[in-house]
Amino acid sequence: MHIIDDMRGFTIISMVSFHICYDLAYLYALPMDWFTLGSFQDIWRCSISWTFLFLAGWSTSFSRNNLKRGLLYSAMALLVWIATSVASVDTPVNYGILFCMGASTLLFACLEKIKTPHPLLITIVALAAFFLTYQIPRVTYPIEHLAWLGFPSPTFMSGDYYPLIPYFFMYMVGAGCARLFNERAKEYPSWATRRWSRLLEWIGTKSLLIYLIHQPLALLALELIFGN
């Protein structure tokens, strides 16, 4: 559906812009108080990650094989972890957004054949669970090897951290909304299927590839411009 690709494309542009600002502020020490001080950075980051997870959940209603899609996300998450560990430019990415999307999609693939409650109930419960558990991974726990779930230990570090708790619930909000819409509407409205922007749509269809290559390309460009 065109509107999903458009939204994903817009969010990809926002993500690339965010990471460039992050690199400039923290790797090249440019004075960017508007980015490093206050809550703007957190709000911007949330607008990106929450949208990605919501759209990934919604896309379960379009996918022919959610198991295959989950395995693809998981393989790409492993690739990102290897690349960021080897590059050592910043803290390696352990259990980042691709891990969360992969694990959430695999969980959904296991659950989608089971009879579930009404989509409205799923959406409400998932949204409530997301906000109720949001602070859980923001403190540390005297337990090792549960960071993937949302219980990081004091020694855990990651450059991008999206554990299953609470982010699986945002994924389920998207999945629930998609099924609720599909139950109540025979077809999507014209504004959802209309081609608003071919560029955004194209970017949206290439979102995984862009996610994988944008940071190395951005760092290369910034090094050419700002490097000694």
The DSSP string of 24-55 is IIIIS----HHHHSSSHHHHHHHHHHHHHHHH
Q: Hey, what are 65's tokens?
A: 């094989």
What is the pLDDT at residue 197? 86
Give the pLDDT of residue 192. 67
From 93-107, 185-199, 200-214, the region with the lowest mean pLDDT: 185-199
Tell how many helices (H) and how many strands (E) occur in the chain. 10, 0
Q: What is the pLDDT of residue 3?
A: 84
Q: Which residue has the tokens 């939204």?
A: 7
Q: Is pLDDT at 115 greater than 90 in this prediction?
A: no
Whether 123 has a pLDDT exceeding 80, the answer reads yes
Distance CA 53, CA 158 (A): 19
pLDDT at 107 > cutoff 70: yes
pTM of the model: 0.91
CB 66 within 8 A of CB 108: yes
Rounded to whole angstroms, the Cα distance separating 62 from 65 reads 9
* Average of per-residue pLDDT across 196-225: 92
